[in-house]
């Protein structure tokens, strides 16, 4: 049985790594190398790149990725397509647990590695996306100030928006550039802004969209309106930073208290498996684990509710 698991894990890892290297390295290096040649060669390699991309899409079409995950992957800055990220996630879930089970068939340790592989990639993806959204919120006030100055200089709203998208860094620069491209293709202003606001989960951008639409319908000084919204956003960020500082102790305490029993269980399972095995081998032990897991989840939700202040 151990030999079968070892062979299966080795074959699985080899196939997964072969596919990943084929998708992530070989095609990209070929395309980048040929794109550095003359114009005629660039045209040929562009056609080749399109063919490779279509081929990759055909190979990965069996992987279904939700729109939410696509937005998270594109927003997080990961240099992977959503289907490639799902493949790597799948590899992290099964490969370490199968290899450990092949060499040391311990159910607790294998389940621990399985859960880590299941949780960690989307967790880091969510952290990266949240960081980008937070940076977007911090840049939005400055972007509105630059946009207001552009309107005072005589630009139209679309022209000022295009200048801002080219001057500011990512993520707000790329997001505003996406809005500019949509507007040039004939999309409605409100729809373009709301799509970005939904992807960035930005209430401030929704407020900006509402103000711009109302100004276009009834008139008014848009530059002054943008200044007011910019100051409002700055005040909101100041209040948010103050609340985050005041609730830091509670949040860190909840994280430490929540993670400590899990880490202790995993550490004891590696150090002394016989000491932990009764929790999984007996009915009373499994009942205690279920009760502990339920209390952990309840405590996490309660602390999260206390420190998550709406303003």
217-227 pLDDT, tens per residue? 887 888 888 88
Q: How far apart are CA 284 and CA 274, in angstroms?
A: 16
256 and 226 in one domain?
A: no
Statement to judge: residues 231 and 258 lie in one domain: no
Q: What is the CATH number of the domain that holds 215?
A: 1.20.81
Boundary of a domain, candidates 242, 266, 283 = 242
Report the length, in residues, of the chain: 311
In a domain, residue 120? The reply is: no
Residue 42 shares a structural domain with residue 94: yes
Is 121 domain-assigned?
Answer: no
Q: In angstroms, rounded to a whole number, what is the distance separating the alpha carbons of residues 163 and 228? A: 21
The residue among 65, 90, 105 that closes a domain is: 105
Residue 112 located in a structural domain: no
List Cβ<8 Å contacts ≥24 apart for 97-103: 98/5, 98/8, 98/9, 98/12, 99/6, 99/9, 99/13, 101/5, 101/9, 102/2, 102/5, 102/6, 102/8, 102/9, 103/2, 103/6
Tell me, yes or no, whether 47 and 66 share the same domain. Answer: yes
- For residue 104, what are its two tokens? 């040391």
Are 245 and 311 spatial neighbours (Cβ–Cβ below 8 Å)? no
Last residue of a domain, one of 87, 105, 123: 105
Same domain for 138 and 205?
yes
Report if residue 113 sits inside a domain. Answer: no
Which residue matches tokens 């910019």?
Answer: 230
262 and 181 both lie in a single domain: no
- Parent domain of 156: 132-242
Q: Are residues 233 and 256 in the same domain?
A: no
The reply to whether 99 and 7 lie within a common domain is: yes
- How many distinct structural domains can be found in the chain? 3
Looking at the chain, which runs of residues are DSSP E strands? Answer: none
Q: How far is CA 137 from CA 46, 134, 150, 206, 230, in A?
A: 36, 5, 20, 12, 11
Cα atoms in the Cβ-side hemisphere of radius 13 Å centred on 75: 27
Do 83 and 36 belong together in one domain?
yes
> Residues of the chain whose pLDDT is less than 70?
1-65, 108, 310-311
pLDDT recorded at residue 22: 53
The CA R_g of the chain, rounded to the nearest whole Å, is: 26
Residue 110 lies in a domain: no
Inside any domain, residue 124: no
Q: State pTM to two decimals.
A: 0.64
């Amino acid at each position: 049985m151990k030999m079968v698991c070892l062979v299966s894990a080795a074959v699985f890892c080899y196939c997964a790594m072969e596919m990943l290297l084929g998708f992530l390295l070989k095609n990209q290096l070929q395309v980048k190398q040929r794109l550095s040649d003359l114009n005629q060669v660039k045209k040929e390699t562009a056609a080749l790149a399109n063919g490779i991309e279509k081929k990759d899409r055909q190979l990965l079409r069996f992987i279904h990725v939700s729109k939410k995950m696509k937005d998270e992957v594109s927003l997080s800055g990961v240099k992977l397509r959503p289907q490639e990220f799902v493949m790597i996630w799948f590899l992290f879930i099964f490969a370490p647990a199968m290899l450990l089970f092949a060499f040391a068939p311990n159910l607790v340790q294998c389940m621990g590695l399985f859960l880590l592989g299941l949780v960690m990639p989307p967790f880091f993806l969510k952290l990266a996306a949240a960081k980008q959204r937070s940076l977007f919120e911090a840049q939005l006030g400055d972007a509105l100030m630059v946009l207001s100055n552009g309107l005072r200089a005589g630009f139209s709203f679309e022209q000022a928006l295009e200048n801002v998208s080219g001057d500011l860094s990512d993520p707000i620069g790329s997001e505003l550039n996406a809005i500019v491209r949509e507007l040039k293709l004939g999309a409605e202003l409100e729809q373009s802004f709301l799509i970005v606001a939904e992807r960035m989960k930005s209430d401030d951008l929704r407020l900006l969209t509402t103000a711009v639409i109302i100004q276009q319908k009834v008139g008014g000084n848009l530059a002054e309106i943008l200044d007011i919204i910019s100051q409002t956003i700055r005040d909101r960020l100041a209040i948010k930073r103050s609340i985050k500082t005041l609730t830091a102790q509670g949040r860190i305490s909840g994280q430490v208290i929540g993670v400590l029993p899990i880490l202790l269980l995993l550490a004891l399972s590696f150090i002394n498996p016989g000491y932990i095995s009764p929790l999984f081998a007996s009915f009373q032990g499994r009942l205690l684990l279920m009760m502990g897991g339920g209390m952990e989840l309840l405590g996490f939700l309660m602390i999260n509710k206390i420190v998550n202040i709406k303003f």
